Amino acid sequence: MPPLKRWSSASLRCGPLRWKRWKKDDGSASLEFITAGMILLVPIVYLILAMASIQAGAFAVEGAARQAARVYVQAPDETAAQAMVARAVEVGLADYGLESADANVEITCETPAACLTRQSAVTVTVRLSVTLPLVPDVLSLQSAAAIPLQATATQTVSRFWGSE
């Protein structure tokens, strides 16, 4: 069996000298910080913007549905109620910077024949799609990058409503 080869002191001295040459990284910390910071910071900022946009849309839809149901049950008649609902949805969505033309409002009543009867429940549903921020309108990507939101509110017509 051949004898084991031992490391000489000359070979050990050569290794650390070579390592020192590669170990020099003066000035690269700032470059690493900027690179890693951009790679991590840009997606986090976009995530915050997207979540803020979705949350604003959720608040807007919920507030518009609740206010529309409230004004509907307090209206003097059906035609005035429809106009008041349209105005309430418009104002509720405009408070959060959203267009009321994009919203879909549905009104259902407990008694379909007459919504505004005493003690009847009126349900207002508002649907809206919120587009994510910074999505270009190329190849109709905005419709694919839209988050559908829906809110429903129910109010009861007062037992003292009307002149009967």
pLDDT in tens, 55-84: 999 999 999 999 999 999 999 888 999 999
E-assigned strand segments in the chain:
104-109, 121-131, 146-156
Global confidence as pTM: 0.74
How high is the pLDDT of residue 68?
96
Whether 42 is in a domain gets the answer yes
CB 120 within 8 A of CB 111: yes
Whether 9 is in a domain gets the answer no
Calculate the alpha carbon distances from 82 to 3, 26, 70, 87, 159 in Å: 100, 71, 12, 9, 21
DSSP summary character for residue 140 = T
Give the chain's domain count: 1
Which residues 6+ apart lie within 8 Å of 154 measured at CB? 69, 121, 122, 123, 124
pLDDT > 70 in the chain, percent = 80
Average pLDDT over residues 143-158: 90
Which residue from 118, 108, 122, 131 is spatially nearest to 163, judged by alpha carbons? 118
Which residue from 93, 68, 67, 73 is spatially nearest to 149, judged by alpha carbons? 93
Of the pLDDT bands very low, low, confident and very high (cuts 50, 70, 90), residue 113 is: confident
Of the pLDDT bands very low, low, confident and very high (cuts 50, 70, 90), residue 150 is: very high
Whether 22 is in a domain gets the answer no
CB 149 within 8 A of CB 114: no
Whether 6 is in a domain gets the answer no
Whether 105 is in a domain gets the answer yes
Which residues 6+ apart lie within 8 Å of 151 measured at CB? 58, 61, 62, 64, 65, 66, 125, 126
Whether 21 is in a domain gets the answer no
Whether 123 is in a domain gets the answer yes
Whether 13 is in a domain gets the answer no
Distance CA 127, CA 105 (A): 7
Range of the domain at 93: 32-156
Looking at every residue in the chain, the average pLDDT score rounds to 84
How high is the pLDDT of residue 129?
93
Go through the chain and tell me how many residues it has: 164
Kindly tell me if the per-residue pLDDT of 130 is higher than 60. Answer: yes
